Amino acid sequence: MPELMLDGHALRVAEGTSVAAALALGGDGCTRTSVSGRRRAPLCGMGICQECRVTIDGRRRLACQTLCRDGMQVETRP
């Protein structure tokens, strides 16, 4: 069971859990702040809408298409 850091908080999840699901399990599920300053959460769940883009280990990636790995650092705020 991988353990990852979500905005500085540790969370252990089941193998195969997506980062998008982990963000909802460990917090409010939000992934980014829109250009007009509102929080957003995953919409399409399948890699199309880009609402779930987060920073994972320093790289911009889609939370819904990325599986949790041990030691991952996920940031949802700029």
Asked if residue 51 binds another protein (CB under 8 A), the reply is yes
Asked if residue 12 binds another protein (CB under 8 A), the reply is no
Binding-site member from 2, 11, 24, 55 for another protein (CB under 8 A):
24
Q: How far is the CB of 1 from another protein (least distance, A)?
A: 10
d(CA 58, CA 48): 21
How do strand 3-6 and strand 73-75 relate by DSSP bridges? parallel
- Single-letter amino acid, residue 1: M
DSSP assignment of 40-69? E--SSSSSSS-TTEEEETTEEEEGGG-B--
Q: How far is the CB of 5 from another protein (least distance, A)?
A: 17
Q: Which residues bind another protein (CB under 8 A)?
A: 13-18, 20-22, 24-25, 28-30, 34-36, 38-51, 53, 59-61, 64-67
